[in-house]
Structure 1
Amino acid sequence: MSVEHHLAASAERADYLVELSNVVRDTSSVGGLGPRSLRRLGLVLRALMELTGDPDVSVYLVADTSLLGGHREFADQAEVRRLRGWVADGLVEEVDDADERVLDLARMTSLPVITGDRYVDHRPEHPWIQGNTWQFLRPEARPDGSVALLAMDMGVRSAAEISRRMELSALKKQGLLGPSRTPLAEVIMRTWRCPELRCTLYDIHKGGRILLPRMRRGVPTCELHGTPLVGEGPRLGTTQLKAVINGTCVARYTLDEGSEAHVGRLPGQVGIALHSLLPPQVAQQVSRRHVTVSARSGAVLIRDISTYGTRVRRARRQGAFGPWEKLPPQTDRPFRPGDEAELSSGVVLTRSGRRFPAELADAWRTEAARTPVSPTAAAPTRRA
């Protein structure tokens, strides 16, 4: 089979879109070929001809620039030369972010996409992915070594899940994920400063939007100047709160570690005032100081201090929630990412799924501690 026969020079001429980087590196569904292999594309094309019954079915390939950037991971360097030829001939669209380009093309053309990615972190910009059951196909290996293409139910992910995945993607781009895709806590939980005196990208005393460092050869490095950063001590955690009115997020607020905020109609200078966001008849049902939210030792707590009462519900997996429950007055209760507190009908305060640096690293360490160790894992070596 000639692979080139099935490659379209534009999405408009193709029957399917293929996220090539994902397919070439998909060792989970098509193993035994090394970290990267074009043979996986050949198996996918055979599966596609079988699925469609069309021997001339065509695909449009989109790849990250990092695919060829990691050319040493191809077991057969002839495949690298072949792939470079496809790029030069316009048979592969090479971009910095293949995910975003594939989704843009899928939205514009309605073409089916072959990939193993569920694009959780791209759903705010592409809400049409939520609940999609027909437009995405994933390769799956059969016992005989061939491949089948199976429709993926993309499901509906909660705002908390989406935001956590976005956080993970941001850390990946900065090189801040270690083994098993866990954040580098020793870097994330510290503040940094660029030795260039006029640079304010990382300095909490000078800058507004503080960036996380980029890791280069294991060293935290300034994104702009390329110089090693200087450690400045621990980074305090920050929590994001969202005001949601009738299902629409109308405002976002931040709460620093060790601080407390009153939320209500007009809670005072140090609080979060909702009065300007609410219709008059709704504002009357929200107390001046309705709830208190505090951040202590990496945990966020909520307390009802209102006249009218507050209901809460807990976020669960796959976008589901637990039942509404009355929040006991004058009692601190955990307020986790995705949880919702209803101050009045249609007036909801929720915790963003985006967990800022210190809390993010703490959460990953907690998850790692819960993961059982394989009985076949080697025992740690003791040092004298």
Structure 2
Amino acid sequence: MEEHLTADFEEACFLVDLSNVVRRQDLGEPGLRSLRRLALVVDAAVALARDPDVKLYLVADRSLRLGGRHEFTDPADVRLLAKWVRTGLVEEVGDADERVLELCEMTGIPVITGDRYRGAREDFPFLQGNTDDFLEPVPGPGGTVRLVPLDMEVASPAQISRKSEEDVLKKQGLLDPRRRPRSEVVLRNWRCPDRRCTAYDTRKGSLVLLPRMHRGVPTCEQHGLELVDDGPRTATAQVKLLVDGRVKARFTLEDGSTVRIGRAPGDGGIALHGLLPGDLAARVSRGHVELRVAGGAVRAKDVSSFGTRWRATAGKSGPGPWHDLPQDASRDLRAGDELELTEGVVLVRSARRFPAELAQEWQRRTPPSGEEPEAVTRMY
């Protein structure tokens, strides 16, 4: 197997998301992690390329080797993996997904993986609808593996947001064995005992980190100290601003709040004038839509002079039809639903339940009135 691995991606025929392959329990022998699955993938790559000397470039999360050595079926796999890392046959990084996608986009070398990378769609737009660059290992006859083209499909904004948040929770150790958020941790605020630390402070800055679990205890990443429970986390909802299909800003709203969004909605509103080019800003009312957040639900109402359109979350058949948003009544805005203020300017309710952005941070950064702000909402 080792003769098919290379430390030079320029001579590789395939990139391999090693962490994904090693954990695929539907391939090869039983167990949580096994390098035998990589051997089966190498055989499949040789068959697909019709090249007995085919080369593969492997990328792995650091946690594959260091965080789960007890999960390998054969303890010798851990020693072999460590050797490959030392000799450069495995590129070991903190986040393999980002590196694999970076190499794929840069080189065009196909990736062997079972991951759909939904959480990476905003950073790597080439993933949307891609049917050319990814191969999935699937069980073949007699315990073999086949490589089949992987259709990445077009993920909806809600799917992207939900998967992005899940990826963050996973990295922080905040998903339980059934891949659900550990509610006893994420539904609380936390405080570092070091008074200089503001990483988890909901009263300062613009972002608040989720705690990292270390030996079952919420821990400060900067100081390594056990965090102190600082009370229940306030419920929030997040809305994204898309301009010509790209995310320009995110606004996190606190439960119980009512907020107007428009070109320059005045005190307590979200001003978009600094985020839109002049031609688009001119077609957005000063106060265009009103959002009310209550009990985790978001209701939207048109308050504009130009009108607002609404459509439901994109499903398997694509986005639903546009409907006029009424001015005399409000309607529920579910995760992924879109509000079109004018062509090219869309508000989307994010599916994130635990955004890092502090609620109402946009209010501290955006002046209450006027068309030319000195500072505008934080850009992403």
TM-score using structure 1 length? 0.86
Q: Which residue of 1 aligns with 2:147?
A: 149
- Residue-by-residue CA offset, 1:285-304 (whole Å, 9 max, x unaligned): 54433221011111111012
For residues 236-255 of structure 1, the aligned pairs below 5 Å read: 236-255=234-253
Amino acid at match of 2:33: R
* Residue among 48, 59, 65 paired with 1:62: 59
Match of 1:33 in 2: 30
Q: Distance in 1 between matches of 2:41 and 2:51?
A: 14
Say if 2:244 is the partner of 1:225.
no
Structure 1 Cα separation of the partners of residues 103 and 314 of structure 2: 32
Code of the aligned partner of 1:121: G
DSSP-derived class of the 2:291 partner? strand
Cα 1:283–1:224 shift into 2, 3 Å: closer
Q: Which residue of 2 aligns with 1:372?
A: none
State how far apart, in whole Å, the 1-side matches of 2:118 and 2:47 are.
29
3-state SS in 2 of match to 1:162: helix
Q: Tell me the equivalent position of 1:215.
A: 213
Per the TM alignment, residue 152 of structure 1 is displaced from its structure 2 partner at its CA by 0.3
Provide closer, same or farther for how the CA distance between residues 305 and 48 of structure 1 changes in structure 2, counting only shifts above 3 A: same
Greater CA deviation, 223-232 or 30-39? 30-39
The one-letter code of the counterpart of 1:75 is T
Distance 1:307 1:126, change over 3 A: closer
Shift of residue 283, structure 1, vs aligned partner = 5.0
Shift of residue 306 of structure 1? 3.0
Amino acid corresponding to residue 41 of structure 1 in structure 2? L
Residue in structure 2 matched with residue 123 of structure 1 by the alignment: 121
Q: Does 1:158 align with 2:151?
A: no
Match of 2:309 among 303, 306, 311: 311
Q: 1:285 to 1:32 in 2, by over 3 A?
A: same
Q: In structure 1, what is the equivalent of residue 109 of structure 2? A: 111
TM-score, scaled relative to structure 2: 0.87
- Could you tell me how far 1:318 is from its partner in structure 2? 5.2
Counterpart Cα distance in 1 of 2:188 and 2:266: 33
Letter in 2 for 1:42: A
| Residues 302, 42 of structure 1: alpha-carbon distance in 2 compared, 3 angstrom cutoff | same
Gaps of 5+ in 1: 359-384
* Contact 1:189–1:235, Cα closer than 8 Å, also in 2: yes
Write the distance in 2 (CA, Å) between the matches of 1:78 and 1:158.
42
Q: Give 1:44 deviation, angstroms.
A: 1.1
Query: How much has 1:140 moved relative to structure 2?
Result: 0.7
Q: 1:188·1:357 contact (CA, 8 Å) conserved in 2? A: no
Matches within 5 A, 1:43-54: 43-54=40-51
Equivalents in 1 of 2:274, 2:193: separation in Å? 43
Structure ID, larger Rg: 1
Q: How many pairs were matched up?
A: 355
**Aligned with residue 167 of structure 1, among 161, 165, 169:** 165
Verify the 8 A CA contact 2:28 2:36 in the aligned structure 1. Answer: no
Q: Which residue does the alignment assign to 1:268?
A: 266
Alignment partners' CA distance in 2, 1:121 and 1:280: 32
Gaps of 5+ in 2: 357-380
Q: Secondary structure at the match of 1:156?
A: coil
Aligned counterparts, 1:1-384, within 5 A:
3-28=1-26, 30-69=27-66, 70-277=68-275, 283=281, 285-317=283-315, 320-356=318-354
2:256 counterpart SS class: coil
Q: Which SS does the other structure have where 1:228 is aligned? A: coil
Q: Distance in 2 between matches of 1:37 and 1:282?
A: 54
Q: CA RMSD in A?
A: 2.2
The CA distance in 1 between the partners of 2:284 and 2:104, in whole Å, is: 44
Determine helix, strand or coil for the equivalent of 1:244.
strand
1:146-171 deviation line (CA, Å, top 9, x unaligned) = 11111101111122211211100111
Distance, in Å, in 1 between the alignment partners of 2:77 and 2:345 is: 57
CA distance in 2, matches of 1:245, 1:86: 45
CA distance in 1, matches of 2:274, 2:17: 46
Equivalent position of 1:371 in the other structure: none
Q: Deviations over 1:4-33 (max 9, x none)?
A: 2211221112111112221111113x1533
Change in Cα spacing, 1:302 to 1:34, as seen in structure 2 (3 Å) is same
SS of equivalent to 2:352: strand
Q: Residue 129 of structure 1: CA displacement?
A: 1.6
Shifted more, 283-292 versus 261-270: the winner is 283-292
Instruction: Give the drift of 1:309.
Output: 2.8
- Find the residue that maps to 2:259 and give its secondary structure: strand
Report Cα offsets for 1:185-240 as digits up to 9, x if no partner. 12111111112222221122344421111111221111112221111211112222
Q: Deviations over 1:118-162 (max 9, x none)?
A: 111122221112221121111111242111111101111122211
